[in-house]
Amino acid sequence: MDFFTELLNNPGITRAMWPATVETLQMVLIATVFTIVIGLPLGILLHNTGKGGLLPVRWLNVVLSGIIVNITRSIPFAILMVALIPLAKAITGESLGPVAASVSLTIGTVPFFARLVETALRDVSSGKVDAALVMGSTKMQVIRKVLVPEAMPGLIAALTTTVVTLIGYSAMAGLVGGGGLGRLAYNYGFQRYDMGIMLVTMVIILIMVQIVQIAGDIVARKIDHR
């Protein structure tokens, strides 16, 4: 039997690979949605409470930036995951599985995404914000109609990077009970030393990352009129 027929007869691949892939996609998708929902407003708040923002509030900026974002970002993700298991259980009712893992994935990537959002917004020239204000915009209108649309190419790039990071994190989440491709690779590839499964897992993840990156680049280019 050659290498490929062996792969096709490997139950680890024929039976376990598809559900694991679905679990990984599930984790990444849930975490992406919540990362945007929480991270985008947080990033906007970070930018606008900072110096030169629309609403500079020093203490709030220090709290958001220093405490929440920097502290969360400085804890290694593998450790953060384990530490957040009780929280995941409190929110989802389970401590294992892809849905539970999405909680810690989200909390792990929100600060990362928020920082990228802040950077993208900072790239919008202050002249455009001034112009919007001089024309009589409210602060909310400046954010919705100027800051976010003008930063959109940067925001899409930030989202692409975040989703790629999430795919990486999801493999780590697999090791501590999240399931998905991470667990598959660990159980078969590491513990049984099944090279075939290891290889197929890597190819699948590689394809996922490529699709996300290419799609992100296409969208970013399409909406970039600068």
Q: Which residues bind other proteins (CB under 8 A)?
A: 125, 127-128, 130-138, 141, 145-146, 149-150, 152, 223, 225-226
Between 28 and 124, CB nearer to other proteins: 124
Q: How far is the CB of 139 from other proteins (least distance, A)?
A: 9
Between 82 and 135, CB nearer to other proteins: 135
Q: How far is the CB of 124 from other proteins (least distance, A)?
A: 9
Buried b (16+ CB within 10 A) or exposed e, 163-192: bbbbbebbbbbbbbbbbbbbbbbebbbeee
Between 54 and 116, CB nearer to other proteins: 54
Token pair of 37, please?
């929902």
Cβ-in-10-Å burial (0-12, 13-18, 19+) of 219 comes to middle
Q: How far is the CB of 135 from other proteins (least distance, A)?
A: 4
Spacing of C-alpha 145 from chain mean position: 25
Q: How many whole angstroms separate alpha carbon 214 and alpha carbon 217?
A: 5
Between 73 and 139, CB nearer to other proteins: 139
Q: How far is the CB of 207 from other proteins (least distance, A)?
A: 32
